[in-house]
């Protein structure tokens, strides 16, 4: 099921942002992009997504903006004095006079050092995971709204299938009667005047014909599938796979009816039914 969820959480002057995009896929595929310092959180982020989603191709973009860490500077006074003492001794030894400026002293190795305050990664990790949780909730809310619209659409197609099923059921007895009448007429035409066929033989052939044309079992299974479809829609949750299999069963029954019942009007109803089932199958691909 397609969907989008996002969340932003501000803390200590910084901002954590999470965006989740999902598109249709038969299985659950996750692609998570985390800040470099927090790549170890990938299993936890994927775990949160797996609890909320059953299938789909999911892309997660996570960014973290924080204030620059404070920097502290220290001067090594003892080392500076040692430098000056040794330099003064060196000047006397080689008879070279000169004085060092403060800038020159500060530039000597080891005199000035700076350190940045360490970042609290554990605190940032909790911050990121809280933002992921909020984005997942936003995604689920959007998908639930879209799911309700899909359920309504599937019920429309189910109603259209039921209409064609009812028309075929109403037509079925007439199909048997008409084919039986045609069979009698063909037999009479073949035998000609003055000849007749054994009534028992004709009755047996008509019974066999009626059995071949009987689609009551297929119609009953179609009704059972329609009932199951409604039950799954009411149940909700991750029912996409079941709906997919169910739509295949719809098509199987429709094809069987079309092959068994050689009747033009029934064939028209079967064509309409298959068109509705195909539309349903397309929509089912969007259901988680």
Taking the CA atoms of residue 255, residue 260, residue 261 and residue 267 in that order, the dihedral angle to the nearest 10 degrees is 20
pLDDT of residue 179: 66
Dump pLDDT digits (tens) for 133-161.
999 999 988 888 888 888 899 999 999 99
Give the pLDDT band (50/70/90) at residue 264. confident
Dump pLDDT digits (tens) for 97-115.
777 788 888 888 888 886 6
Dump pLDDT digits (tens) for 193-211.
655 665 665 666 666 656 5
pLDDT of residue 270: 92
Residue 116 above 60 pLDDT? Answer: no
Residue 217 above 90 pLDDT? Answer: no
Start-to-end C-alpha separation, the chain:
5
Query: Can you tell me the mean pLDDT for 166-195?
Result: 71
Alpha carbon distance 204, 185 (integer Å): 16
If we measure between CA atoms, which residue out of 13, 14, 2, 5 comes closest to residue 60?
A: 5
Alpha carbon distance 14, 10 (integer Å): 6
pLDDT of residue 284: 85
Crossing angle of the two packed helices 240-260 and 264-284, in degrees rounded to 10: 170
Higher pLDDT, 31 or 213: 31
- Tell me which residue has tokens 């829609």: 233
Query: Can you tell me the mean pLDDT for 67-93?
Result: 79
pLDDT of residue 197: 62
* Dihedral pair phi/psi, residue 143, rounded to 5°: -70, -35
Chain centroid to Cα 59, Å, comes to: 11
Q: Are 32 and 46 in contact (CB under 8 A)?
A: yes
Q: Are 232 and 144 in contact (CB under 8 A)?
A: no
- Average pLDDT taken over every residue of the chain: 84
How many percent of the chain have pLDDT more than 70? 83
Report the relative pairing of strands 56-65 and 28-33 from DSSP bridges. Answer: parallel
Higher pLDDT, 73 or 102: 102
If we measure between CA atoms, which residue out of 257, 8, 53 comes closest to residue 45?
A: 53
pLDDT of residue 193: 62
* Dihedral pair phi/psi, residue 100, rounded to 5°: -95, 140
How many percent of the chain have pLDDT more than 90? 38
pLDDT of residue 148: 85
Give the pLDDT band (50/70/90) at residue 278. very high
User: What are the residues whose beta carbons fall under 8 Å from the beta carbon of 222, sequence distance 6 or more?
Assistant: 161, 165, 250, 253, 254
C-alpha distances out from residue 8 to 14, 77, 170, 286, Å: 10, 47, 59, 28
Alpha carbon distance 12, 123 (integer Å): 11
- Tell me which residue has tokens 């000035």: 112
Q: What is the CA radius of gyration of the chain?
A: 40
């Amino acid at each position: 099921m397609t969907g989008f969820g996002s969340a932003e959480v501000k803390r200590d002057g910084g901002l954590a942002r999470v965006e989740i995009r999902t598109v249709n896929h038969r299985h659950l595929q996750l692609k998570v992009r985390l800040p470099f310092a927090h790549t170890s959180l990938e299993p936890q982020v994927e775990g949160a997504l797996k609890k909320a989603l059953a299938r789909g191709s999911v892309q997660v973009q996570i960014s973290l903006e924080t204030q620059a860490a404070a920097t502290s500077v220290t001067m090594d006074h003892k080392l500076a004095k040692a430098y000056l003492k040794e330099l003064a001794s060196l000047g006397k030894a080689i008879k070279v006079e000169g004085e060092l400026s403060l800038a020159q002293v500060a530039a000597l190795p080891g005199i000035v050092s700076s350190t940045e305050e360490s970042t609290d990664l554990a605190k940032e990790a909790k911050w990121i995971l809280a933002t992921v949780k909020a984005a997942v909730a936003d995604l689920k809310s959007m998908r639930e709204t879209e799911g309700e619209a899909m359920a309504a659409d599937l019920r429309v197609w189910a109603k259209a299938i039921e209409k064609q099923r009812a028309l075929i059921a109403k037509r079925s007895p007439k199909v048997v009667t008409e084919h039986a009448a045609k069979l009698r007429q063909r037999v009479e035409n073949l035998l000609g005047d003055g000849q007749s066929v054994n009534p028992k033989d004709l009755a047996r052939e008509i019974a066999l014909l009626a059995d071949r044309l009987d689609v009551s079992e297929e119609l009953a299974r179609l009704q059972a599938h329609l009932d199951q479809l409604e039950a799954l829609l009411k149940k909700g949750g991750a029912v996409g796979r079941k709906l997919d299999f169910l739509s295949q069963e719809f098509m199987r029954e429709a094809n069987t009816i079309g092959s068994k019942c050689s009747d033009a009007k029934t064939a028209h109803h079967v064509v309409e039914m298959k068109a509705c089932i195909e539309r349903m199958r397309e929509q089912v691909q969007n259901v988680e």
